[in-house]
Amino acid sequence: MKSKSSIRHSVFALALAACTLTGAYANDQILNSDPINVSGYVSEPQATDHELETVRNELSKQKRAIQVNKEKAKTYNKLGRSTEKLADATEDLIEERNDSQAVIDRYNKKIECLMEENPGKDCDEYVKRKDEVKVVQAAPINNTAVIVNNDSGYSMTENIKAMPYVGLASFQSENENLEASISAGIRVESDITSRISIGMGFNYTGMKTLDGINSYANNGGYYGPGYYNQYGQNGREIEYTNYNFDLVGKFFITKTSRFRPYVGAGLGYNRTTMNYTNNQNYNSNFNGFNNQFGNEELVTSNINAQLLLGSEITFTKTIGANFEFGYKKGVGSSFSTDNQRANSFDQQRLQNLNDELASANIFSINAGMVIYF
């Protein structure tokens, strides 16, 4: 019985080993066989060598490096914005801490003065003296004002800046759309707090345009015959000059010392001169009317309101840059201070054009320097 059982076990072991060898051989044939494409045919193996594999590995490394650098750039951008917010919060913290420390110092000084039997003159604002009642009552008001200025760190005479600038100006009204050939000016401002400044400015704007309404092409326009053969087919050239004096106030959105975006508003006084560049006297006879041309000029004044949006950028303690968008609009009607040849057609044209520009929407873009004193 034992011998038959041993024989059976031996036969079973041999069969199991044969099956294992057969399966291993079949797997090896499958793994080492040629690849089959989607059509069911055997595809040719791709040619490669060590150099090609090296290039492919380098390309993969560079793609991964590009992704990593992009993520780094995004992270640094977030870090920069976070740093600006941290700077604002830190500046606010320092100001609040200085204010609190000033209050604490005043309290300690007051207690010290009250505890002394014979306080000195430095205690006058805290201790009332019977023989100096009037002086003591007035002293706290003056001293309090001085402390406020010291805490804020700003003084009307210590934070002055001059800003010369040049730019572009566009006049847009119902019937006119003109571009200034030159716009330049200067503004002097003073920071009264860390967020508010006031200033005064001067601006010069000049441009030229053709009197197309009274041209020959318009057959005399609204006011009379054209100028063909005398001033040209397109009409006479008009010269416009404006001097603006304004008072502005600005509110700075952030307290950062290097980049200071702001919004502002102001009022201005305009002195405008308009005249024809060709002032040759000319008399014409049209339908029995004697028309005189030449020496026409108009000088007017008006008030305008303006809105500002811009930013100051500080480079050093004394030099910076300023970029600004402006919008102006006339307030009320203009009044004439000089009106020559009031009855001529061209003088009426100057008056009408001046009324258009005085009530026009004026858009400007300016860029300039900031000089700190």
The residue whose two tokens read 């008009």 is 238
Per-domain residue ranges of the chain: 115-152, 160-372
Q: Which residues contact 326 (CB under 8 A, 6 or more apart)?
A: 306, 307, 308, 309, 362, 363, 364, 365, 366
| pLDDT, mean of residues 246-251 | 96
Q: For the domain 160-372, what is the CATH code? A: 2.40.160.20
In this predicted structure, which of 59-63, 135-139, 321-325 has the lowest mean pLDDT? 135-139
Burial 126-136 (b: 16+ CB within 10 A, else e): beeeeeeeeeb
Report residue 136's pLDDT band, with 50, 70 and 90 as the boundaries: very low
- Which residue from 268, 155, 301, 252 is spatially nearest to 201, judged by alpha carbons? 268
Residue 178 near residue 171 (C-beta atoms within 8 A): yes
Q: 306 phi and psi, to 5 degrees?
A: -145, 155
Residue 55: the pLDDT is 92
**Residue 358 burial by CB count (10 A; 0-12/13-18/19+): exposed, middle or buried?**
buried
* Structure tokens given for 152: 């804020």
Joined tokens for residue 73 = 């750039």
> What pTM value is reported for the model?
0.53
Q: What is the mean pLDDT of residues 26-34?
A: 55
pLDDT (average), residues 13-23: 63
| Residue 270: HSE in the Cβ half-sphere, 13 Å Cα cutoff | 31
Over residues 202-248, the pLDDT tens digits come to 999 999 988 765 554 454 444 444 444 455 556 678 899 999 999 99
Asked whether the predicted pLDDT for residue 84 surpasses 90, the reply is: no
Confidence tier at 196 by pLDDT (50, 70, 90): very high
Band of pLDDT at residue 325, cut at 50, 70 and 90: very high
Residue 133: is its pLDDT beyond 50? no
Residue 281 has pLDDT above 80, yes or no: no
The confidence score (pLDDT) of residue 174 equals 86
Is the pLDDT assigned to residue 94 strictly greater than 70? yes
Other Cβ atoms less than 10 A from the Cβ of 54: the count is 10
Give the model's confidence band at 348: pLDDT under 50 very low, under 70 low, under 90 confident, else very high. Answer: confident
Distance in angstroms (rounded) separating the CA atoms of residues 273 and 270:
10
